[in-house]
């Protein structure tokens, strides 16, 4: 520990801790480990440095604002309840889903290891997740039976609004991360009424011109 600690000035340690704290928000397991190590060093050499750093990081995490978080989700389609004409609009560009046209949802779900009661289709709007190859006009397949793990992409309700974001947990607090540098991570607050609707397992995309 002394050998490692001797490599850091207070400024260098702060900058390193700040960098890895930000990365840990995106579910980076290596960054999580680095945060633990750097925090141990900070506690020994510069008491209070970690608290100052995490406070600065949190202060740079935005409050709810669609200009920062991106477009909210406005439509949901449940396979077992939705009208076939609407489902056909979502699936008509996918040759592998002929069963949809025959209303054979059970076969469709079985082939893709889905429980029909757990499957939700969500048309995506906006560009906040382009870094994860999720684009405006795509359709996300959501499994509401899965419990999210750090790094998963989820659909979350925040104050009654729905967003697609990468899920992270830092110091026992939920952080939602966009995959676009134009949008800031969001630290969930106690009064946000956060609810994780489910985990995104697949993305469907039209390749029609």
**128 included as an active-site residue:** yes
Other C-beta atoms closer than 10 Å to the C-beta of 100 total 19
**What is the maximal distance between C-alpha atoms in the chain?**
68
Q: How far is it, in rounded angstroms, from Cα 123 to Cα 145?
A: 19
Catalytic residue among 9, 145, 157, 165: 165
Catalytic residue among 24, 62, 74, 128: 128
DSSP per residue, 17-31: HHHHHHHHHTT-HHH
Report which of 82, 114, 83, 86 is spatially closest to residue 200, judged by C-alpha positions. Answer: 114
Q: Mind telling me the catalytic residues?
A: 128, 165
């Amino acid at each position: 520990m002394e050998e490692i600690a001797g490599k850091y000035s207070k400024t260098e340690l702060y900058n390193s801790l700040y960098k890895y704290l930000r990365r840990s928000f995106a579910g980076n397991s290596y960054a999580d480990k680095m945060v633990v190590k750097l925090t141990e060093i900070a506690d020994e050499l510069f008491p209070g440095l970690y608290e100052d750093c995490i406070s600065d990081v949190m202060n740079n995490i935005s409050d709810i604002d669609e200009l920062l978080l991106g477009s909210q989700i406005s439509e949901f389609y449940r396979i077992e309840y939705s009208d076939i004409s609407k489902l056909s609009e979502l699936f008509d560009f996918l040759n592998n889903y002929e069963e949809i046209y025959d209303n054979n949802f059970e076969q469709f779900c079985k082939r893709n290891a889905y429980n029909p009661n757990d499957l939700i289709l969500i048309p995506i709007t906006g560009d906040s997740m382009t870094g994860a190859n999720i684009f405006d006009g795509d359709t996300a397949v959501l499994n509401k039976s899965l419990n999210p793990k750090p790094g998963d992409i989820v659909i979350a309700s925040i104050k009654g609004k729905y967003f697609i974001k990468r899920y992270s947990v830092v110091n026992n607090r939920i952080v939602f991360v966009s995959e676009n540098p134009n949008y800031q991570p969001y630290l969930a607050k106690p009064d946000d009424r956060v609810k994780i609707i489910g985990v995104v397992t697949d993305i469907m995309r039209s390749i029609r011109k």
